[in-house]
Structure 1
């Protein structure tokens, strides 16, 4: 197989990395603690957690799981909380005990939570009180026996801890009534664990680190089995690819995407830990005015997000007043970065918005814009070191450069399979190649461009129409904030394009949008139906859910 992207690599980027540089994430954590003990590791609500404190508290947490709860190597522990200091303490405590992390979205419904707890077989859960009523409603139908309960302010110093917890519970009434008599307070766990001996288990690269559940945008949520070697490899790949110019000393990354999502987990939590950086955790990024105030009052050198997050910041008053002089890395992923957003971001911040690509099943990084890119170019960049990517047609045969095909990925970061789903695993993993379900093209010099997802493609009179193209054109209009394009049934054409639009100017008419689209799109691609809304349905990390719009339309 030819690897044309290697010729396009910056000179300082190696073609291969060593996926076995560390035996496990535990070894990597211990090395970081030794190297960076007095540096800040995580910050939230004004409270800073150093690498030394992370070491002490995660060890205490691990000891409690081992000795008080009697958990054995390979047992699953669910973590269900937003970005709080409790998360890294619990995360590394679970891993240091030789256990498996099952990340859970705190906004899950009872049905979704019950499914994930039963499917993973988690016997222990760490949960924030704001969402404990959901757990209380399903716990008897799950294998969960141990509940560790935390409140938002638990890791803050007194008296701020008490004030935050009181306001959240009594003033804002954000903690619903629930009954979990078996629960133990998070702070009590840490206090008890401090007096217990931590027994370091042997953790190898082939041991499971995470059951990372897919977002469910394409069907039933499945647990991707990510072993320690997958994550170690992806960290080595991304750090090598970023180069010394992008990642230096005293880095501070804005972590607004939730750490329970694979993008932030790897690109923020683990990667910046590896280089001795600090994660500035944003607990509620949906409160954009408060988010912008945090940016105004903190030094930062990097930020990651999805297109909707960057777009939201750009449309929030006061963002233009943030000090961007130290910002060196802005990385978009999780969904396509739109040209209009990337160009406005670079204009406002002076920093390039680089695009990355990957999946939960690839830990997640597979390709990125090279660090010497001048700015947005509409591609997802080049495959990262030790990664192969190819495009295949409907028969599974490789396509030529410039021809569309389904993207497949091979590398040490690709998952071991889906948890207890051999049939589903066999569908997407063949001979080490991961079928992504994404349609793309590759240029002669190895740059990949996403055209769209297989299932999102619209068929108009036999012509393929890709929603990303429609959305990119529509969002070029100054009065459009966000848009989603879907296919809807049509008697004559089989399907036609419908767009659902969030606008910032109520005077924007459907006729004006159609005229705008006609200027940039072939006739069969021009939307036949337009709907205006105040907001679009999204996943917990801000991906627009076209599937939900299609289901609404069908109903």
Structure 2
């Protein structure tokens, strides 16, 4: 018998088995009225109401619904209310500049846009037929009393369209199918041992690769979701203590925020011997891993993946075989990207690029068949990252594509260079990532001017008018010329060398 895999499976099981259990505790301090505590039965009811509301608006199966929101119970519910009845959810990074959001909405062809109240000004930027504000327009978005129109289900249908920065100036729409999301979430849940006793604190933005799949698997297994709207180290510790949090996913910058908060925490740090934290976005230093395990007493897990792989490719978790090693050596071993997750195959190209095959890999890039063919050449997904494989363990050693990872967010160097070059005083610009203990990498601009008087602060402010804040250079340095090859290509490796001297890995 064949039965299609679909994201609705997770919601249906939660409602059937755990209907009276608290599903989610919403952020209380937010501009929209908080939903407070919802049971899984109520969450499922609101998801059906959302689907019925989209029926009433005439949004067909396959229609795109964009949502630009901080973490919230409304966003969590939308992962099901949109996709489970055949539409395509487009979760948009709320940190993007208005022009960037406008491009994504237009490029995706979204019929509906749902906006966080803090982002209501985006109404002037987006082009969708229907634009609603979460909270203020809940009667339309989540208020229907009709039953949603049935959808037969198709595991090969696109469920989400996630836009990611790449090596081109424009973000690409990653098509992830119901099959991609179902298998990623289930395999992720197996490797991180999610159970119905788990309490997940959403320290990871839910828009980011669909919260890495945790909104689905924690729901399907009856765990509890704790919404954190904005990351703050002290607030993370407080909620761990208040709600009995057992599980978090985060970029290294969030780990550093928790460590900083723990230094001034009154009493024992909450979650010791209970919390496990899953880290990705950039390999953290060995010392950071040691501190998480010693100072916080949390279990440290590392994964590696990309939005294009839904994202899970590798997992690194403490093994019994390492019990005899000292804590520093254990942390060093945990600093590798990890071994292939169940169902994943890894390989290396001749130039060291990491290649992957899995059931999680993207179906394609939206309206971009040329780039789709390029990254899937030879039946492998080409990650653009360089690495090594030793005894089954992947270590990321260099980034083959010019994407800077700062605070867990991808920044296209070409996109930043384009913004810098629009300033009249800039003749040439090259953007690189340099190592930083807090953010992993700092976006750094190396600029050649036309001689006009201009300061680093002028150029950073100029970028802020064109880009999201996290993409803007944190440093600007002036050069007389950029090093180039005989064919005119900028030699970025020469620009990086002074900053990365003495380091084995060219990512941080």
Give TM-score, length-normalised by structure 2: 0.75
Q: Check 1:94–1:482 CA distance in 2 against 1; reply closer, same or farther (3 A cut).
A: closer
Alignment partners' CA distance in 2, 1:37 and 1:447: 41
Aligned to 2:123: 136
Q: Structure 1 21/29 Cα, relative in aligned 2: closer, same or farther at 3 Å?
A: farther
Take 2:168 and 2:478, find their aligned partners in 1: how far apart are those partners? 17
Match of 1:102 in 2: 90
Specify the SS of the correspondent of 1:197.
coil
Number of equivalences: 419
Q: Trace 1:114-513 onto structure 2 (pairs within 5 A).
A: 114-133=102-121, 135-139=122-126, 142=127, 144-151=128-135, 185-191=137-143, 193-194=144-145, 196-216=146-166, 219-242=169-192, 246-262=193-209, 264-266=211-213, 268-285=214-231, 287-316=232-261, 317-318=264-265, 321-325=268-272, 327-370=274-317, 372=319, 375-376=330-331, 377=333, 378-394=335-351, 405-443=352-390, 445-455=391-401, 471=435, 475=437, 481=438, 484=441
- Change in CA separation of 1:115 and 1:95 when aligned onto 2, cut-off 3 Å: same
Determine the structure 2 residue equivalent to 1:181.
none
Q: Is the 8 A contact 1:205 1:228 kept in 2?
A: yes
Q: CA deviation at 1:340?
A: 1.6
Instruction: Judge conservation of contact 1:439–1:452 (CA < 8 Å) in 2.
Output: yes
After superposition, give the CA deviation of every residue in 1:104-124 in whole Å (9 maximum; x if it has no partner).
122221210111011100010
**Which of 87, 90, 96 pairs up with 2:78?**
90
CA shift at 1:252, angstroms?
Answer: 0.2
1:72-131 alpha-carbon deviations (Å, 9 max, x no partner): 100000011111111122221111331000111222212101110111000101111210
Using the TM superposition, name which of 246-255 and 428-437 deviates more. Answer: 246-255
TM-score by length of 1: 0.69
With over 3 angstroms needed to count, the CA separation of the structure-2 counterparts of 1:70 and 1:549, relative to structure 1, is same
* CA pair 341-26 structure 1, distance change in 2 beyond 3 A: same
The answer to whether the 8 A contact 2:273-2:299 is kept is no
Q: Give the SS at the match of 2:82.
A: helix
SS at match of 1:315: helix
Which deviates more from structure 2 when the two are superposed, residues 382-391 or residues 254-263?
Answer: 254-263
- Correspondence 1:55 to 2:44: yes
- What's the offset of the Cα at 1:552? 6.6
Question: Which runs of 5 or more residues in structure 2 are unaligned?
Answer: 29-35, 323-329, 405-431, 448-459, 483-508
- Higher mean C-alpha deviation, range 39-48 or range 51-60: 39-48
CA 1:320–1:118: 2 relative to 1, 3 Å: farther
CA drift at 1:45: 3.1
| Distance in 2 separating the partners of 1:222 and 1:320 | 46
Q: CA deviation at 1:295?
A: 2.9
Alignment partners' CA distance in 2, 1:228 and 1:552 = 46
Q: Which moved more, 1:247-256 or 1:369-378?
A: 369-378
Offset at 1:22?
5.3
Q: Deviations over 1:431-463 (max 9, x none)?
A: 3311011110010x21110112114599xxxxx
1:225-258 Cα deviation digits (max 9, x unpaired): 101011111122223333xxx3333200111111
Give 1:371 deviation, angstroms.
Answer: 5.4
Task: Label 1:552 to 1:358 Cα distance change in 2 as closer, same or farther (>3 A).
Answer: farther
Question: Which sections of structure 1, spanning at least 5 residues, go unmatched?
Answer: 1-17, 152-183, 395-404, 459-466, 476-480, 491-532
Question: Could you tell me whether the CA contact under 8 Å between 1:337 and 1:355 is conserved in 2?
Answer: no
- Alpha-carbon contact 1:42-1:85 (below 8 Å) kept: yes
Distance 1:343 1:371, change over 3 A: closer
Indicate if the aligned counterparts of 1:254 and 1:302 stay in contact, CA closer than 8 A: yes
- 1:311-354 CA distance string (max 9 Å, x none): 11101232874321452421101222221211111111222311
Alpha-carbon distance in 2 for matches of 1:206, 1:367? 24
| Residues 362 and 413 in structure 1, CA contact (< 8 A), matched pair in contact too | yes
C-alpha separation between the residues in 1 aligned to 2:306 and 2:267?
A: 32
CA distance in 2, matches of 1:200, 1:119: 28
